[in-house]
Structure 1
Amino acid sequence: MAEEVMNNKQIILKHYVEGYPKESDMEFKNNNIKLNVQEGTNVVVLKNLYLSCDPYMRSRMSKLEGCYVQSFTPGSPITGCGVAKVLKSGDSNFQEGVVVILVVEKIGMFHLRWRMDYHDSPQLVSKNGVGQFAKMLGCCVVGSAGNKQKVDMLKTKFGFDEAFNYKEEHDLDATLKRYFPDGIDIYFENVGGKMLDAVLVNMKLHGRIAVCGMISQYNLDKTEGVHNLFCLIAKRIRMEGFLVFDYYHLYPKYLEMIIPQIKAGNIVYVEDIAEGFENAPSALVGLFSGLNVGKQVVMISCE
């Protein structure tokens, strides 16, 4: 059998990043990839269809120590999550033509993969899904966003009871008291900094804070301190971090729950789709200035 070779374009991190990332911190590199699969191997050749741009990727652009993820290696391709199509397969669990959700070890047009998770109808639900889940459970939900369009979307599309533009609020403590006169029971933390400080003051006794991220701190040379931590003691607040990796074993159960809810229209989502692999760096950088509206995705190929 003649050896089949395809040109493959990859995104390379040029150097560790300080401050806000720029498109110039990344570059494209072309190489060739062999599409043939030798008999007796479990190698799978994939064609990337969609790539996910996520805030945690910014942390990996810096030199990390003691973190839950490893730093990207300057001069090497960056990694991320995506959706791909199986082109060639030496693994009986993955037939040619099926669509898979996976961690892309080297972001490019094509790549090899030895292990992945399979699902024939992948769906993505971004952070606004947290508020929608809370509404399903009977909570009064208030959200914050960085512009009027997003604030309106939280209320009209995602069903939040209220929402505000944090960039227009000069006193976040007063803002939270306006929306939560009796205090906050549950806070989903993905911001950090001044917002977390204001939330701590406004929590109820025995309130709960689930810490998912702190995007306001990712591009700072020196992260901001939190001044109201004593509220954890005074109000007996439970504050706990979590990582999605700890809950992968529940993913099949999650799909059983979420897919019927999406099909029924009870859970909705918005995707901001950048078309073309060449636009992946600008899509990733845009996350940190709020340019995206919804889950940021890069479409490489529409199939």
Structure 2
Amino acid sequence: MSDNNRAFRLRRRPTGQLAPGDLELVTEPVAPLRDGQALVRTLMLSLDPTLRLWMSDIRGYMPPVGLDDVMRGLGIGQVVESRRDDLPVGAFVSGWTGWQELCLADDAVLEAPFNVLPAPLPAPLTAFLGALGHTGITAYIGIDLGAVQPGETVVVSAAAGAVGSIAGQLAKARGARVVGIAGGPEKVRHVVDVLGFDACVDHRADDWREQLDAATPDGIDVDFENVGGEIMDHVFMRLNIGARVALCGMISQYNNSGGGDQWVGQVNIGQLIMQRATMAGFLVLDYAERFEEAIEALAGMLGEGRLKYDETVMDGGLELMPDALGALFEGTNTGKLVLRIGEPA
């Protein structure tokens, strides 16, 4: 066992995109374990849009990461030393590993306890950050909150992404007509041909507005929103009376999360009044009592072949994490983006 840990600490709050110097990769000693503690080696880290929000000192659903603190993040790890019965050596766990190679599992320090994964594993480890992890659960909860009904038209932005790809399939399973929005012809084809959406709009095309109008001739009943910005504004103009907007994310605005001259708000939000529509933001963390239900349903669909999930796994050391976050915002990945930084023992 190494006596040292490598970790990224947040040294300054980014302005716009993450820049060199915002994070520092440091090497620090690991203290001997005390009773009630375990040591977890991080095997893979989850790339999520909210990571960028946590770096900014803005009002959010969790406090911002403190300056000089280890960068917050979710991951999968393996227990390598333990002085607690519930985390035996060799067990795979998911939780708040942070951007570091070794994490101290101490419930008095962690933001939430680690979850021990089932043995034997019913799916690859990466699935517990994707379809069977927080992203899949987010899609499950959001589609349920949108009260999707058979025959309705559901629009899903970032449809080739981790959450959107699952959300669209869940809406299809409820009998809805599902229209995705994705970036580039290859992703558009994937969303329709592989994931089974009824149509998909290329938001990088000059005529994306016309594409969206043509794909939703009967308007939009439910919008599963992951992007915000001008795409969401045009969706507002297609809402039917009584439509529901499940606001999951607004990734288009996260790099401008501090506001200022570059901030672009929603223009057509008044359509919520005109169409007597509702919009509700939701956080998967508020639905912990439904996690078991969601995972059971998702695992069942996966086992029956009724749910497909995509993942982009980057291989390399911890030092690649800032670049991996940049790739997430560039939209180069399909499905869940994960950085693998270690191998199981």
Query: How high is the TM-score relative to the length of structure 2?
Result: 0.81
Match of 1:33 in 2: 30
| CA deviation string 1:4-24 (max 9, x = no partner) | 652211112231111122355
Is residue 111 of structure 1 aligned with residue 152 of structure 2?
Answer: no
Aligned to 1:205: 241
2:251 counterpart letter in structure 1: I
Residue 255 of structure 2 aligns to a residue whose secondary structure is coil
Q: Mind listing any 5+ residue stretches in structure 1 that lack a counterpart? A: none
User: What is the SS of the residue equivalent to 2:74?
Assistant: strand
Aligned to 2:337: 296
Q: CA deviation at 1:198?
A: 0.7
The aligned counterpart of 2:146 is none
The residue aligned with 1:227 is 267
Relative distance call for 1:150 and 1:133 in structure 2 (3 A) is: same
1:12 aligns with 2:9: yes
| Cα distance per residue 1:215-271 (max 9 Å; x no partner) | 111122442122222211111101100001111121111121111211222111111
Deviation digits for residues 164-214 of structure 1, max 9, x if unmatched? 210113462x33221111100110011111111111110111011000111
Q: How does 1:29-178 map to 2 (within 5 A)?
A: 29-34=26-31, 36-38=32-34, 41-64=35-58, 66-104=59-97, 106-114=98-106, 115-120=113-118, 121=121, 123=127, 124-125=130-131, 126-127=162-163, 128-170=165-207, 172=209, 174-178=210-214
Q: Which amino acid aligns with 1:84?
A: G
C-alpha distance in 1, partners of 2:233/2:295? Answer: 35
Q: CA deviation at 1:93?
A: 1.9
* Residues in 2 aligned to 1:151 and 1:6: alpha-carbon distance in whole angstroms: 48
Kindly provide the amino acid, as one letter, of the partner of residue 88 in structure 1: E
Distance in 2 between residues matched to 1:195 and 1:274, nearest whole Å: 29
> Could you tell me which residue of structure 1 aligns to residue 141 of structure 2?
none
In structure 2, distance between residues paired with 1:79 and 1:297: 15
Q: 1:94 to 1:284 in 2, by over 3 A?
A: same
Taking the aligned partners of 1:52 and 1:147, their CA distance within structure 2 comes to 24
Give the one of 222, 227, 231 matched to 1:186: 222
- The answer as to 2:282 corresponding to 1:245 is no
Q: Distance in 2 between matches of 1:259 and 1:23?
A: 40
Task: Give secondary structure in 2 for the equivalent of 1:141.
Answer: strand
C-alpha contact 2:201 2:212 (8 A) present in aligned 1: no
Aligned residue identity for 1:211: L
1:256 aligns with 2:296: yes
Q: CA RMSD in A?
A: 1.7
Residues 12 and 21 in structure 2, CA contact (< 8 A), matched pair in contact too? no
Counterpart of 2:320? 279
Distance 2:19 2:198 in 1: 36
- AA aligned opposite 1:156: D
Amino acid in structure 2 at the alignment position of 1:58: R
Aligned length: 294
CA distance in 1, matches of 2:202, 2:170: 22
**Which consecutive unaligned segments of at least 5 residues does structure 2 have?**
107-112, 132-161
SS in 2 for 1:178: helix
**Offset of residue 75 of structure 1:** 2.5
Q: How many Å separate the matches in 1 of 2:87 and 2:69?
A: 28
C-alpha distance 234-255 of structure 1, shift in aligned 2 (>3 A): same
With normalisation by structure 1, the TM-score equals: 0.92
Give aligned-pair identity as a percent: 31
1:194 partner amino acid: E
How far is the alpha carbon of 1:143 from its aligned partner? Answer: 0.6
For 2:71, the aligned partner's letter is I
